[in-house]
Structure 1
Amino acid sequence: MNEFRSTLSEELSDSDPPPLGDLVGAAIRHGRRARRIRTVGAVAGSAVALTAVAALVGGLPGTTATPTGPGAATASKGSAPAGAPPATVPATPAALLQAALNALPQGTKTEHYAGNPVDTADNQNPSAEFYVRTEKGLGMVRVLLFDGTGDRRGCDTSTDRPGDQRTDQCFTNARGEDVYLSHPGNGVQDTSVVVLHSDGTGVQVSLGSRLEWNGATNPQGVTPLTDDQAVALAGDPALSLTMAPDFVTAANTHFAALPAFH
């Protein structure tokens, strides 16, 4: 672009040709006209190319899909030119919440959305909370993202008894990622699933049969999802420490007043 500007400047600043005769002068003027025509063609070509790129980038801010949870705002991960890595930004609690809602089974009814900020000394990882309404009542789901790079968790079953629901299960999912399933059974965290994604993201999904602390107690609820559904949720690749900028922006806008949970 600098070379083009320099060439254009030189062309525009040229003075009239010296009086070398009509034949020579005509040839010089003809040559300049030809060069200017080529230059204008190059400018037009560049403008068309830039317009095409702008249209490509501006035309892919993310597509809208049918939300899984009521009132959910969705966006795709966007696209990038072939050979270029997709642009991503750090996930926010709102973006994590939206991605988790999108990953739920079709028709799941959700409510009571919350997310904890990541700008405090004791909370550096995005986390989100929502309730699932079942035929039997409400159940609580909490999702946490963390850096799972190099994380490997052994399953110690040496002290477990046959039929003990605290028995850990370790296996790999369809993408070859490590999955850890356990049942702490403490009400707020009846079931815990951790999946170590191939991109280095660790995802923990906690299912609670008790609801969020209301200042005096954790109200009784029901188990919101099955173990298989919790494993599928934690293993969804959309739940990542980095997400597409348009997705994060849309989620932050939709859940602008997202309260913290306790």
Structure 2
Amino acid sequence: MTRSISGTRHRAALLGGVALATALLVSGCGAGQIAETAAKAPSVPGVNVQSSDGSVLIRNLHVVYQGPEGYPAGGDAPLALSLYNQSDQPVMVRITPAAPSGSDNQATVVSGSSVVFSDLTTPAPPPASPSAPASPSAPASPSVPASTDTASPSAPASPSAPASPTTPPAPATRPAVIEIPALGSVVISGTGDELLQVEGLTTALTPGKSVSLTFEFSNGAPPLVTSAPTGVPLSPAPRATSVTGDEGH
């Protein structure tokens, strides 16, 4: 009888320990990350940074994808980004090119001569030409003697010169200064009639490279230097098909 009671108590203690271990395992799994969710990559191709005081957030900063050839040296590259003002006062943000840093990534980072807004609908005004100095008065020409009765043959009319093709006017540009309203945001998509772009790239900007930029803030936050990577295509490139069989089939 004693053996039966002790055996029952032993089995009950063992079952209680197993239940406790199972509860701990379940709670541990619930508190941690799910591996499949943690391995997912973000759906935006750009960089997410912010000012040192957290007042301005910069999200999805990248160069608009143009194809595998990218942008040539000396060309312009449009930017896309979103700016969020976390303060209760408007903030002005100025974007300028930054010299590539001395890091190991220097070979893949380029810069430009300026960062500007280009209005594709408004041509830039032509530069004002300096006024020409007044030319001195020409001396009086001697009187032409009266012509004789023999009439001189008339000169043939010269053919009119063909009209030269007109060059399309350049778009109007202005410095890249953006005002973010208090507790507001500004989204620049990189498409449309007005582009925020880097002008005069120092080297070719191809996929895998990035542009070095400096962000300055009017609220006293220190300047922020970051890189804008080249965006990725929204759809994969078509795969080359191999041709087999005889020619013509």
Fold match by TM threshold 0.5: no
Q: Which has the higher contact order (CA 8 A, sep 6+)?
A: 2
Could you say which structure has the higher strand fraction? 2
Could you say which structure has the higher helix fraction? 1
Larger radius of gyration: 2
